Amino acid sequence: MVAASVPIDVNETGTRPGVDCAGSRNAVGYIAAGALVAGGLLLLSGRNRAGVVVATAGSALALLNHQEAVRSWWLALPVYINEVQRTINQVQDAVGQLAVKREQLHRVLGR
């Protein structure tokens, strides 16, 4: 058996090239992904309570890992809610107009 050492380059900041402070962030991402997979497997195996707990923990880790994205989504949420409310109001108005037309048609055809 032959053992060989692999030299690890270190740059001026004392870290390996390609590895920065986000290295620990990537580790959290891997842990979150593993927890989500484990939670899914637990759910598939019939252990619903444990699966939900593990999947929730994985989701929380994933959200903590991407705080900037969550913050931007949270700030954009009121805009989407207003748009959905406007669409619902338009649908309600259309249904109301359709009900009026149906009543008019019913009166005309009922004679």
| pLDDT tens for each residue of 51-101 | 999 999 998 988 888 888 888 988 999 999 999 999 999 999 999 999 999
What pLDDT does residue 12 have?
Answer: 57
Same domain, 85 and 105: yes
**pLDDT confidence tier of residue 110, bands split at 50, 70 and 90:** confident
Q: Is residue 2 part of a domain?
A: no
Same domain, 92 and 59: no
- Domain of residue 40: give its range: 21-65
Distance CA 31, CA 61 (A): 8
* pLDDT for 14 beyond 80: no
- Kindly state whether residue 15 falls inside one of the protein's structural domains: no
Pair (26, 53) in one structural domain: yes
CB 28 within 8 A of CB 8: no
Q: Indicate if the pLDDT at residue 17 is higher than 80.
A: no
Whether 10 maps to a domain, the answer reads no
What mean pLDDT is predicted for residues 11-35?
68
